[in-house]
Structures are given as structure tokens and as C-alpha cells.
């Protein structure tokens, strides 16, 4: 509680918030998952007993991390966009591009969601992670397209004007060759009835890296409403095959 008679200034409010966070942190031990450490080049895990011994009287965090933006009890896809996706402008630009191109809502939604794997979770195999997260809530064609865009991005299709991205030459070097599993996935996708749905993600993707473009999530709220089956219990609590992934995003530092 504050004892100030006047309203708090912004910086005082920030201080107060920081204090609340520090207090919560003081009461709980926050351990890191192995994956977080591996990103720093170490295959290591904290010893739970040793951490407890080093923090007498404290317990491990088993819920919301006070350092992260708060999530509502029954989170929606929009809540995750706002509080858990580190960057959304690339996906919004891609979806805006698809919308302006007159594509179907299914395609626009695919573009809007195509990189949620990267934006929220992990880079490696992001198309597969992203597809798995949304699979229970979208038409099969949408999650299929999100999964397959990962492989298709590496292969040109002159019939629709898609070329190998020059950016990838910069990113990965001129001699980078996709691994055999990506080549095999591309070949499967190439002969699939939904090929063009995944290809359209790559077509709308490549022009979408403009840091100054004006994009707004509110332009897509209706499309999400009509095409994403938001569970009434909240994402993470609906017992779907990917509910645990949404929960993990919500509570990435829960001890177990
Ligand atoms: Fe992608
Ligand atoms: Fe992308």
C-alpha cells in the first residue's frame, strides 16, 4: 500500500510494481528449464534439493511468473498475441498482405498464425510447433499449411512467382542446403491437394518484413472469431491435444 496523498507518477507506479514483483520473487524460487540453458550452450539442470537448501523457507514457483505480463484466467488467442508473442508485426503484415490480395479468410488466418511457433516458443521446426498448437482449433487445411510453409519456403515455384528468398542467402549462406527431411516434406507437400494453401503463406511471407508498416491486430479480430474455435474454458484448459503447450507458454517457469 502506498501512503502518498497525491496520485502516483508513472515512475512511482513503476517502482511500486517492481517492488511487488520483487516481493513475489522473494517468496518463490524460479528455476530454468534445460532448454533455456541449452540456448546458452550448456546441457545443465538445477538440482532441486540444492536450490531449496540455498533458499531456506522458500518454495518453487508453481504458477504465474510475476515478471511476465499477466494472463487472464481463460486466455484467448488474442490474449496470447498481446501477452506472450514477442513480436507480432511480421505475422500481421503477412496477414494484411493476404487480406489486400483478396484471399480467403482461411488463407488470411494461416498467414496470421504461420510463425506463432517462432514468436512464442522456439525457432527450430517452428512450422511444426505452430501447427500443433493450433490444430485443435482451426480447419485441418490451415494447420497443414502452417506446418508445410516451413519446408516450402526453401523451394522456388516459378509458376506463382516465388523465388528462394535472398534474405536466406544472407541468413544461412549461399551454400546452405535444406536437410533431407525438409526436402522429403517439400515433395509430399508439392503433390498434396492443399499445396497452394501452404504456398500462399510463403508468397505473402516474403514481402512482409517492413519495420514501419502500419498493422493492427484489431483488423483480424473478426476473422479470428469466425475461424479459430476459441475454447470457452480458455486456451490451455480445454483438454485438447495441445492444451499443455498453451499452458507452458502461460507458465514457462513453473517448476513442474
Ligand atoms: Fe515461418
Ligand atoms: Fe514468416
Please return the burial class of 220, using the count of CB atoms within 10 Å of its CB with bins 0-12, 13-18 and 19+: buried
Indicate which ligand has the atom closest to the C-alpha of 124: 1
| CA 150 / ligand 1 centre spacing (Å) | 6
What pLDDT was estimated at residue 159?
A: 96
CA angle 61, 82, 106 (to 5 degrees): 120
181: its cell numbers: 527431411
Helix axes 140-152, 105-113, angle to 10 degrees: 50
What pLDDT was estimated at residue 208?
A: 57
| CA 114 / ligand 1 centre spacing (Å) | 6
What pLDDT was estimated at residue 214?
A: 82
Contacts (Cβ under 8 Å, ≥6 apart) of 49: none
What pLDDT was estimated at residue 124?
A: 96
| CA 117 / ligand 1 centre spacing (Å) | 8
In degrees and rounded to multiples of 5, residue 159 shows phi and psi of -65, -25
Indicate which ligand has the atom closest to the C-alpha of 208: 2
Indicate which ligand has the atom closest to the C-alpha of 92: 2
In degrees and rounded to multiples of 5, residue 28 shows phi and psi of -125, 145
What pLDDT was estimated at residue 207?
A: 60
What pLDDT was estimated at residue 19?
A: 74
Single pTM value for the model: 0.89
| CA 87 / ligand 2 centre spacing (Å) | 11
44: its cell numbers: 545443465
Averaged over successive runs of 10 residues, the pLDDT of the chain (256 residues) comes to: 65 77 78 95 94 93 95 98 94 94 97 97 96 98 98 96 92 96 98 98 79 86 98 98 98 96
Amino acid at each position: 500500500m502506498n501512503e502518498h496523498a497525491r496520485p502516483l507518477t508513472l515512475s512511482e507506479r513503476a517502482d511500486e510494481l517492481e517492488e511487488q514483483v520483487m516481493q513475489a520473487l522473494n517468496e518463490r524460487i524460479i528455476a530454468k528449464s534445460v532448454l533455456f540453458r541449452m540456448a546458452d550452450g550448456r546441457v545443465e539442470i538445477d538440482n532441486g534439493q540444492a536450490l531449496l537448501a540455498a533458499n531456506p523457507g522458500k518454495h518453487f514457483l508453481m504458477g504465474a511468473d510475476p515478471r511476465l505480463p499477466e494472463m487472464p484466467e481463460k486466455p484467448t488467442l488474442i490474449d496470447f498475441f498481446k501477452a506472450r508473442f514477442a513480436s507480432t508485426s511480421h505475422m500481421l503484415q503477412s496477414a494484411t498482405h493476404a487480406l489486400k490480395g483478396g484471399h480467403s479468410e482461411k488463407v488470411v488466418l494461416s498467414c496470421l498464425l504461420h510463425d506463432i511457433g517462432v514468436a512464442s516458443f522456439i525457432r527450430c521446426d517452428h512450422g511444426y510447433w505452430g501447427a500443433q498448437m493450433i490444430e485443435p482449433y482451426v480447419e485441418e487445411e490451415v494447420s497443414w499449411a502452417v506446418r508445410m510453409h516451413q519446408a516450402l519456403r526453401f523451394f522456388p515455384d516459378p509458376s506463382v512467382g516465388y523465388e528462394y528468398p535472398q534474405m536466406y542467402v544472407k541468413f544461412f549462406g549461399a551454400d546452405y542446403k535444406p536437410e533431407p527431411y525438409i526436402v522429403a516434406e517439400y515433395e509430399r507437400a508439392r503433390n498434396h491437394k492443399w499445396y497452394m494453401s501452404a504456398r500462399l503463406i510463403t508468397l505473402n511471407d516474403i514481402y512482409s518484413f517492413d519495420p514501419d508498416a502500419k498493422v493492427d491486430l484489431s483488423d483480424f479480430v473478426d476473422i479470428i472469431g469466425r475461424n479459430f474455435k476459441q475454447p470457452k474454458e480458455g486456451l490451455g484448459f480445454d483438454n485438447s491435444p495441445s492444451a499443455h503447450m498453451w499452458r507452458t507458454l502461460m507458465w514457462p517457469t513453473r517448476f513442474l
